[in-house]
Structure 1
Amino acid sequence: MSLDVAVAVPFRQKGKRALGEGEIVVALSLDRDWFSPDQAKRLVDVALGRGLLESVDGELRPTFDPDDVVIPEDFSPDESILREQSTFEKALDSLVADGIQKQDAVAKANTVQQELGVTIETAAVIVARRRGVNVDELATTVVHELEEA
């Protein structure tokens, strides 16, 4: 999947297992010229939502070994990977619609994820439910995603 490859590249390029969001954005937009900075941020959101990245102590870490990913020499990701809205993003959208700032919603979801040891999607649904936001459909989706894992 090209999303895996696009996520792996900044970590391989920098030779690190954890990067700040800004480092990933620079690697994908300025160094590689694959995306605009806004698109690179979107890629980070999609990767977080799909569980390819996790946020730990303010840094992003891949949930897979980037060295195991084959990166074709002429690889260039398709922008369609940015259009897919993940369950996590849908939960975030519900929280934002309820009046919480997106950054605060992500921070709360990260905290719940770390405290409970659950996926980021599950954490976002828990945050939404705690605020009284109706995310029943997303909760069902999260359960199905967990069953498939």
Structure 2
Amino acid sequence: MLKTAEKEGLVQITGDMVKPLLDPNSVEIPIDFKPDQSIFTEKTAETIFDQVIDRLQSSGAMGRPEIVRMINEKQNDLGIVEIDATALLVARMHGIDVTDLIDEAYDHLI
């Protein structure tokens, strides 16, 4: 969420410090305000999950339903793990290079 706020120019992140780039006193927030959950997800053309599925499919070893089933089973085995991280793990287990997606997946976690 902080990375998204930084990209939108709302905050400045320096090390462990987060500085707002607007005057907090200039904003009035209603007491019953609840943000829509969609603001917490960054809009991307294609999710990491979809990119991993595409790469696994293009290897020709299996189709989308089998890939999704395999990722879901692995996620159930691992417990509390983000679906993107699980998809990356499954891809690596099948010899698919996903190193270019790791930083993006990590950024979504923090």
TM-score by length of 2: 0.55
Which residue is equivalent to 2:46? 85
Q: Percent identity of the aligned residues?
A: 28
Flag the structure with larger Rg: 2
Summarize the alignment of residues 31-70 of structure 1 with structure 2, pairs less than 5 Å apart. none
Matched, 1:101 2:66: no
SS at 1:145 equivalent:
helix
1:31-66 CA distances to partner (integer Å, 9 max, x unpaired)? Answer: xxxxxxxxxxxxxxxxxxxxxxxxxxxxxxxxxxxx
Report how far residue 143 of structure 1 moved. Answer: 1.6
RMSD: 2.1
Which runs of at least 4 in structure 1 moved beyond 4 Å after TM superposition?
Answer: none
Report how far residue 84 of structure 1 moved. Answer: 2.9
Higher helix share: 1
TM-score by length of 1: 0.42
| Cα distance change, pair 145–102 in 1 and its aligned pair in 2 (3 A) | same
Unaligned runs of 5+ in 2: 1-33, 37-42
| Count of aligned pairs | 69
Unaligned runs of 5+ in 1: 1-67, 71-80
Once residues 140 and 109 of structure 1 are traced to their aligned partners in structure 2, the CA distance between those partners, rounded to angstroms, is: 20
